[in-house]
Amino acid sequence: MSSEKTPIPLGSNFIRAIVDKDLEQGAYASRKWAGSPGDAAHQAAGQPDTAKIRTRFPPEPNGYLHIGHAKSIFLNFGLARDYNGVCHMRFDDTNPEKESQEYVDSITDSVKWLGFGWENSGESNLYFASNYFDFMYRAAEALIENGHAYVDSQSAEEMRINRGTLTEAGKNSPWRDRTVAENLALFREMRDGKHTDGSLILRSKIDMASPNINLRDPAIYRVRRAHHHNTGDKWCIYPMYTFAHPIEDALEQVTHSICTLEFEDQRPFYDWLLERLAEAGLLAHPLPKQYEFARLNLTYVVLSKRKLIQLVEEKQVSGWDDPRLPTLAGARRRGYVAEGFKLFTDRIGVSKADSWIDYSTFEDCMREVLNINAERRIAVLDPIKLVIDNYAENHVEDCFAPNHPLKPELGKRVVPLTRELWIEREDFMEVPSKGFFRLVPDGLVRLRYGYVVKCTGCEKDAQGNVTVVHCEYLPDTKSGTPGSDSVKVKGNIHWVSTQHAYECEVRLYDRLFKEAHPGEGDRDFLNDMNPNSVTVITAQLEPNLKDAKAEDSFQFERHGYFVADKKDSVAGKPVFNRTVTLKDAWQK
RNA sequence: UGGGGAGUCGCCAAGUUGGUUAAGGCACUGGGUUUUGAUCCCAGCAUCCGAAGGUUCGAGUCCUUCCUCCUCAGCCA
């Protein structure tokens, strides 16, 4: 048995492999944590960090979170959870012009909704990049003092020209050799509001000939007179992402800084900056390391912030929480559930390969958890009347329907049976197509949880449309009675008593786009929108559905999963959104 | 055409230091169960790892060349 292979752990991916190795080698064992973010001196006075690893989820509060962010959330928070670490919730708010409290609120809501928090044993790991502006300023001065940064007087246009191209080296700025004293004075003037927006900029001094354009003296601090949602008007200079992000990670003692692939080229600067600050004594080793993974691409949706904003602003959808949008706020209203997101992220994995996930994979995950969690109810979405001609006119009879076929402990509920019922229009065919085994003239079918009935015919209007279907019931065949099995039928249809039904608005949602890759090639993505992405109907529901609370999910049997709308439901009068249909091997 | 990445079954994705039969999931296809044409169960599903050469007793894993795709030239993140 020496050749026994060790089983591959579930959810194994390259990032976990890195963490495993780091932990095994004790790469971060010497870290200290003073209970809050801070520089080398601050952390040195703390205790050995009990968190084995620290990760962070660092959105910019300039929009709503979407399904793509969910991947990052589960990755970062999930890693921390699985490795006895901590994941920080951090707002990367270094660009005041785009950010707002509204976005901060929606983001925290969504992350909590997915099941994560940042309170750990009395410590809140909710942070803002803007909390670190003082340190960032100090770090910038340290860079200047050590000859690693300078104030440039070139215009943005001049800088662009002198940056060179992908294949040609850039040219040094004529201001690159200002003295430390001069740079320091100028930078302080920038801070003190002595210079207009855009007139001066602080740049790191690295190499204008670097083949990596991100190393050609990247800008790190700009003058920008804008009100910040958090720091108000305290600052008129703001750090750039490139400069701010590594510092945020370091101050928070983050070990594994995980971001998407497009930041790969920034990693050399990330390391360069942190090393320079460590040399200056502002930070201590071990320093955080950046790792990149492939962002999520999902068919039939758009995840770009620009496009999402366009859909909302042009009122193509009802708002950021439109149930058809891939935003987490929209997904929640749609009835998608957090546990389904977890399943989804586990299922798609994490790698560096660009990939497109079929939207159906996402839907399947939702079906899978909803199948387990959602109680069953009966709903007739496209009603047509069925009359049981041999059933007593005013009789009301109790039928018993299990709340969940997989969970008998959830009990049964009573649904009233009467002479006139609503059934699904598509469950009757006067001339059946091949393979159809529901209601047909002279055919037998079971009224689910009730009796077997025999169809006796139908009535039609002047146009030939069926208006009423007639049948007769077989008295000994009631579900749950000894005789119920006496007659075997293949068809099984659902129904609601016309006199008891809850007439209700139901929104049938479908995909927002009709193309797998909206806007692919030179098409305008708006032209790829599905004109039938929502159909509002009036359905006939089983009466107790009136008591559904907002955000309660149900399986409407034989149809799919539906949720009582979070926004438009009122007590005693919920309205429902279709989350996802059931799989249907017949219609396809 | 410079730099940095990626290419394993229809869609994802494991494949540590080369070791001999290429995980797993989803989808799909059969069959069974079923008062949801759902669920569930069982079975099947890459002689091949972007291509071509090479090294080796042995290569998805090493070397060479080539191909394809993504990404970087904001005082955005």
The pLDDT tens digits of the residues spanning A180-219 come to: 999 999 999 999 999 999 999 999 999 999 999 999 999 9
Q: Compute the half-sphere exposure of residue A247: CA atoms within 13 Å on the CB side of its CA.
A: 28
Which nucleotide lies at the shortest CA–C1' distance from A161? Answer: B73
Distance from chain centroid for Cα A539: 30
From A16, A32, A60, A176, active-site residue: A60
Q: Give tens-digit pLDDT for A491-517.
A: 999 999 999 999 999 999 999 999 999
Tokens of A572: 């005693």
Tokens of A203: 């740049």
User: Which residue is it, tokens 């997989």?
Assistant: A406
Q: Using alpha carbons only, give the angle A532, A536, A538 rounded to the nearest 5 degrees.
A: 145
| Residue the block writes with tokens 């770090």 | A139
- Closest residue, CA to C1' of B25: A347
Which is it for strands A412-417 and A420-424: parallel, antiparallel or unpaired? unpaired
Q: Sorting pLDDT into bands at 50, 70 and 90, what band is A485?
A: confident
Interatomic distance A74 CA / B37 C1' (Å): 36
pLDDT above 90 as % of chain A: 95
Distance of CA A176 to the CA centre of its chain: 45
- Please name the nucleotide lying closest to A216, CA to C1': B73
Kindly report the number of other CB atoms within 10 A of residue A110's CB atom: 23
Taking C1' of B10 and every protein CA, the nearest residue is A358
pLDDT beyond 80 at A126: yes
Closest nucleotide to the alpha carbon of A5, via C1'? B23
Tens-digit pLDDT profile for residues A54-103: 999 999 999 999 999 999 999 999 999 999 999 999 999 999 999 999 99
Mean pLDDT confidence for A36-51: 97
> Is residue A306 over pLDDT 50?
yes
| A207 CA from B64 C1′ (Å) | 33
Q: How far is the CA of A518 from the C1' of B26 (A)?
A: 23
Collect all residues with Cβ–Cβ distance below 8 Å to A524 and sequence separation of at least 6. Answer: none
Side chain identity, residue A310: Q
A346/B10 CA-to-C1' distance in Å: 20
Helix (H), strand (E) at residue A536: strand A534-541
The partner residues of A453 in beta bridges, in order of sequence, read: A445, A473
Average pLDDT over residues A350-378: 97
**pLDDT range class, residue A120, cuts 50, 70, 90:** confident
CB atoms within 10 A of CB A504: 19
Report the length, in residues, of chain A.
588
Tokens of A525: 């993505």
Q: Given this model, what pLDDT does residue A4 score?
A: 32
Listed residue (A393, A388, A397, A390) closest to A415, CA to CA: A397
- Rounded to whole angstroms, the distance from the CA of residue A406 to the C1' of nucleotide B33 is 14
List the Cα angle A272/A273/A279 in 5-degree steps: 90
pLDDT band at A587 (very low <50, low <70, confident <90, very high): low
Residue A48 and residue A38: Cα distance in Å, rounded?
15
Q: Which nucleotide is nearest to A365 (CA to C1')?
A: B26
Q: Are strands A560-564 and A397-402 parallel, antiparallel or unpaired?
A: unpaired
- Angstrom CA distances, A94 to A239, A247, A502, stand at 6, 12, 52
What is the model's pLDDT at position A414? 97
Q: Provide the CA A564 to C1' B32 distance, Å, integer.
A: 37
Residue nearest to nucleotide B70 (CA to C1'): A354
* Residue position matching structure tokens 């609503």: A422
Average pLDDT over residues A334-347: 97
Other Cβ atoms closer than 10 A to A562:
32
Nearest-nucleotide field for A94 (CA, C1')? B77
Nucleotide nearest to A265 (CA to C1'): B4
Q: Is A60 a catalytic residue?
A: yes
Dihedral (Cα; A411, A417, A423, A427), 10-degree rounding = 70
Please tell me which residue in A98, A194, A295, A514 is annotated as part of the active site.
Answer: A295
Q: What average pLDDT does chain A have?
A: 95
Protein-covered nucleotides on strand B (Cβ within 7 A): 1-8, 10-16, 23-27, 35-40, 69-77
Q: What is the pLDDT of residues A402-461, one digit of tens each?
A: 999 999 999 999 999 999 999 999 999 999 999 999 999 999 999 999 999 999 999 999
* CA A355/CA A60 separation, integer angstroms: 24
Q: How many CB atoms lie within 10 A of CB A364?
A: 16
> DSSP state, A334?
H
Q: Which of A98, A305, A347, A385 is catalytic?
A: A305
Q: Where do we find the tokens 């009789």?
A: A395
Q: Is the peptide bond between A432 and the residue preceding it cis, with omega within 30 degrees of 0? A: no
Q: Give the position of tokens 């921390």.
A: A80
Tell me whether residue A459 is one of the annotated catalytic residues: no
Q: Give distance CA A66 / C1' B39 (Å).
A: 30
Q: In whole angstroms, what separates CA A553 from the centre of its chain? A: 18
Give every CB contact of residue A40 below 8 A, 6+ residues apart in sequence.
Answer: A278, A281, A282, A283, A284
User: Which nucleotide is at minimal CA–C1' distance from A560?
Assistant: B38
Calculate mean pLDDT across residues A2-23.
Answer: 70
As a dihedral over the C-alpha atoms of residue A78, residue A82, residue A84, residue A88, rounded to 10 degrees, the angle is -10
Distance CA A284, CA A61 (A): 29
In angstroms, how far is B44 C1' from A324 CA? 38
- Closest residue, by C-alpha, to the C1' of B37: A586
Three-class DSSP category at A265: helix
| % of chain A beyond a pLDDT of 70 | 98
Distance separating alpha carbons of residues A584 and A200, to the nearest angstrom: 63
Give me the CA A120–C1' B60 separation in Å, rounded: 43
Tell me how far CA of residue A100 lies from CA of A93, A240, A289, in angstroms. 9, 18, 29
**DSSP helix/strand/coil, A21:** helix
Span A260-270, pLDDT tens digits: 999 999 999 99
* Cα(A17)–Cα(A22) distance, integer angstroms: 9
Nearest to A220 by CA among A164, A99, A139, A129: A139
Question: CA A357 → C1' B56, Å?
Answer: 39
Kind of pairing between the strands at A502-509 and A289-293:
unpaired
Two structure tokens written together for A62? 């300039």
Answer positive or negative: Cα dihedral of A309, A311, A315, A318: negative
Q: Counting runs of H as helices and runs of E as strands, what totals does chain A give?
A: 13, 29
Instruction: Establish whether A267 is a catalytic residue.
Output: no
A159 closest-nt by C1' vs CA = B75
- Residue whose token pair is 């790698």: A351
- CA A273, A279, A282: angle at the middle one, nearest 5? 80
A43 pLDDT above the threshold of 80: yes
